[in-house]
Structure 1
Amino acid sequence: MTNFRTLDDMGDVSGKRVLVRVDLNVPMENGHVTDTTRIERVIPTIEELSGKGAKVILMAHFGRPKGKPVPEMSLRPVAEALEEVMDHDVVFAPDCAGERIDTAIDGMNRGDIMLLENTRFYPGEEQNDPDFIKKLAALGDLYVNDAFSAAHRAHASTEGLARALPAFAGRTMEAELKALEQGLGKPKRPVVAIVGGAKVSTKLDLLTNLVKKVDALVIGGGMANTFLAARGAQVGKSLCEHDLGATAKQIMIEAASAGCAVVLPVDAVVAREFKAGADSETVAIDAVPEDAMILDVGPKSVAAVNEWIDRAETLVWNGPLGAFEIAPFDQATVAAARHAADRTRTGDLVSVAGGGDTVAALNKAGVTDAFTYVSTAGGAFLEWMEGKPLPGVEALA
């Protein structure tokens, strides 16, 4: 999607009330934020608007309070963390709608920043209720969405407000949408997708969409076992959805008719138990012992993956190649990630990656910063890869 307005299109915002939807759904322990990554990502938009004299009014959700106030899901501790990261005063509002919030906003000076209480404390948020949208819209003059990670939800603060007020993409949203356009919208070809993870059943829509859009689909992780078994390979005690064999075959047929190569492991690292330092061996894919589990792809498979990365102009990555959480079953994922990072650094590859396990795997390989773009959006990134419309993005058009 390229036809969206950004902060560059807003004009003079000095003295304007700007409602900014951000993702502050951060990990917490004992009332303290333990990872500020998501906070850091929205700082550029907040600082830019504040610096231009806008009254910056932040809106976010936290957890799943199911439409009623839950004290443990208050955003108050997040406001404190935001203040620390930004080194700027952040006023916390104990509600996100109503007269006292109107009064608090009226009292803001140019450049002030306020964080409203959890929007999901109201049932109207997740219901995208018109009356709740009106209450929120009354708080602002302009709307900015900087929460791509919540853009797959048609909620009041993500989709409804974008239709009620002049709407713009924040800097993080803008960067994400541009990266995704490079990834699958209008990519440089050849395009290679690496898809891993435990189960085919969780990524059926993704695989079906990708085989129509990419030139090669590398399948790793536990889901590769289902495809191998569908081809007649014995996978021992490996994680495998044997009941999805017909589905795997159908995906391979669709890939062939679309001219998409499906790349499966040719060798594997196997072990009798899944634990750190477990005895393991590398075997050909047609020689997996009956009492062993496939826990990573082998060196020949990594070489094949790297060959495809060498051919690619664009790489889209979602999911690890093996059980990367435990050594030595992280080796294939780390090796392929570092190879992709090297090609990205030299300007030969556009690399776009996303999904929780993927981000963790790239962090482990030490290459997150080397990729063209790494999305922390989770569900929204996956739905984009599946080719599904994202309500919060569509509303910005």
Structure 2
Amino acid sequence: MRSIKQIKNSKNKVILLRAGFDVPIKDGKVLDIKRIEVLLPTIKYLAKKGPLVILSHQGRPKGKIDMAFTQKPLVKVLEKLLKQKVKFADHCVGVKTEKIARSLKKGEILLLENLRFEPGEEKNDVIFAKGLAKLGDIYVMDAFPDAHREHASIVGVPKYLPSYAGFQFLKEIKYLSFVLEKVRHPFLLILGGAKFDTKLPIIKRFLKNVDNIFIGGALAIQVFKEKGYEVGVSLVENKNYGLPLIVKNSKIILPIDFLVLKDKKNYDVSFDRVSKKENIVDMGPETIKELENKIKKAKMVLWNGPLGESSGGFDLATEKIACAVTKTKNISIIGGGDTFEVISKLGLINKFTFVSSGGGAMLDFLVNGTLPGIKALE
């Protein structure tokens, strides 16, 4: 896999950059720009090399044009960060877009509309991939959060153009590989969020190597549900993962209390005292204390996923644990989309050894040691 520093001849060549700009946008305003900021070194470096066309996506418009997911709000953000004009193309492919891309001069930047407005993106359609490839002469991948997707802009385009990895992409691989190759003990793995089908492989992968695995967030609720405890109206899946057998392992730590919501009021209850009308929205104070103590003793912390219901604003446990980790000298590698956003809002990004911009991509890499987006560059 070649770094962008290995691009030798870029004269009169248009560079395509696949960026991971899937950021929260509300009423046309970008709420968090950290995922954009981490790519600035790559963008600035490439802009000095030649004309630059940026490809990215927003949300899940399902292959249809939905202006709720337009990339236009990113133009002003990029212009402010880069202190230069950024052009915008209303379509990802086609004669008009190709003409704009090919007319760019060295240092000029063009942002394309949402890739996922096109059905060919998620289908990894050959014609769509070739259409994107026509826009440039060199391809650069720096969208680690999307590298686990076999989409046209990720695995299709590299088949037709000389391909390289951006600075952030290489940094992600470097630090996540460190977890796989240079484990430090005591090693604490913290898992939160939902979707046990994406977290179960991680538990199985690291159970032999870690000293403890703390399971929080909606994942913990799923465990208690399968163990036969009342979880009220909390977020759970209808699936049965056979979790009671897995969590019997002495290395696994579960919450001992929760913050629950009922009748618009929230309060703490023991894990075995949740009632039918209560909604578990965060970890309780005793659980937070127990986890903080484990963090103090750990030499390596790997964390993916929020510990509370982030969509409802219940981030207290996530925030307290984030602060606890930053107060230690342990190696700390954090990831997950919602976790990333909370940590970014707290201004703690630079307080950890490394904060991955990937969620599912981070998990897949840690399980498999590679990703479709990595293989496409090899």
Q: TM-score scaled by structure 1?
A: 0.79
Q: 1:313 aligns with which of 277, 291, 299?
A: 299
Q: Is the 8 A contact 1:20 1:146 kept in 2?
A: yes
CA distance in 1, matches of 2:145, 2:351: 21
Distance 1:92 1:269, change over 3 A: closer
- 1:148 equivalent in structure 2: 144
- 2:22 equivalent in structure 1: 25
Q: Deviations over 1:229-256 (max 9, x none)?
A: 6667x55747486987771123236xx4
Q: 2:350 aligns with which of 362, 365, 369?
A: 369
- 2:253 equivalent in structure 1: 263
Residue identity matched to 1:376: S
Q: 2:362 aligns with which of 357, 381, 390?
A: 381
In the alignment, structure 1 residue 157 sits paired with structure 2 residue 153: yes
Q: Is the 8 A contact 2:261 2:280 kept in 1?
A: no
Shift of residue 392, structure 1, vs aligned partner: 1.3
- 1:39 equivalent in structure 2: 36
Residue identity matched to 1:377: G
RMSD (Å) for aligned C-alpha atoms: 3.5
CA distance in 2, matches of 1:218, 1:307: 12
Q: 1:133 aligns with which of 114, 129, 132?
A: 129
Shift of residue 81, structure 1, vs aligned partner: 3.1
Structure 1 SS opposite 2:148 = coil
CA distance in 1, matches of 2:93, 2:279: 54
CA distance in 2, matches of 1:360, 1:74: 20
Distance 1:372 1:29, change over 3 A: same
Written as runs of structure 1 = structure 2, the 5 A alignment for 1:71-110 is 73-110=69-106
- Same amino acid, percent of matched pairs: 35
Shift of residue 21, structure 1, vs aligned partner: 0.7
- 2:210 equivalent in structure 1: 214
- 2:338 equivalent in structure 1: 357
Distance 1:313 1:9, change over 3 A: farther
Shift of residue 48, structure 1, vs aligned partner: 0.9
CA distance in 2, matches of 1:385, 1:350: 16
CA distance in 2, matches of 1:44, 1:108: 20
Shift of residue 178, structure 1, vs aligned partner: 1.9
Residue identity matched to 1:157: S
Structure 2 SS opposite 1:111 = coil
CA distance in 1, matches of 2:305, 2:359: 11
Q: Is the 8 A contact 2:198 2:363 kept in 1?
A: no
CA distance in 1, matches of 2:274, 2:56: 51
Q: 1:123 aligns with which of 119, 125, 146?
A: 119
CA distance in 2, matches of 1:242, 1:153: 24
Distance 1:342 1:129, change over 3 A: same
CA distance in 2, matches of 1:245, 1:125: 33
CA distance in 1, matches of 2:56, 2:231: 47
Q: Which moved more, 1:18-27 or 1:192-201?
A: 192-201
Residue identity matched to 2:294: W
Q: Deviations over 1:151-192 (max 9, x none)?
A: 121111111112322211112222222222223454434431
CA distance in 1, matches of 2:337, 2:87: 31
Structure 2 SS opposite 1:21 = strand
CA distance in 1, matches of 2:281, 2:64: 44
Q: Which moved more, 1:149-158 or 1:95-104?
A: 95-104
Shift of residue 225, structure 1, vs aligned partner: 4.4
Q: Deviations over 1:310-340 (max 9, x none)?
A: 343321112334457789x755443332221
Unaligned runs of 5+ in 1: none
Residue identity matched to 1:96: C
- 2:169 equivalent in structure 1: 173
Residue identity matched to 1:46: I
Residue identity matched to 1:38: R
Shift of residue 295, structure 1, vs aligned partner: 5.5
Written as runs of structure 1 = structure 2, the 5 A alignment for 1:60-75 is 60-70=56-66, 73-75=69-71
Q: Which moved more, 1:352-361 or 1:40-49?
A: 352-361
Q: Is the 8 A contact 2:260 2:282 kept in 1?
A: no
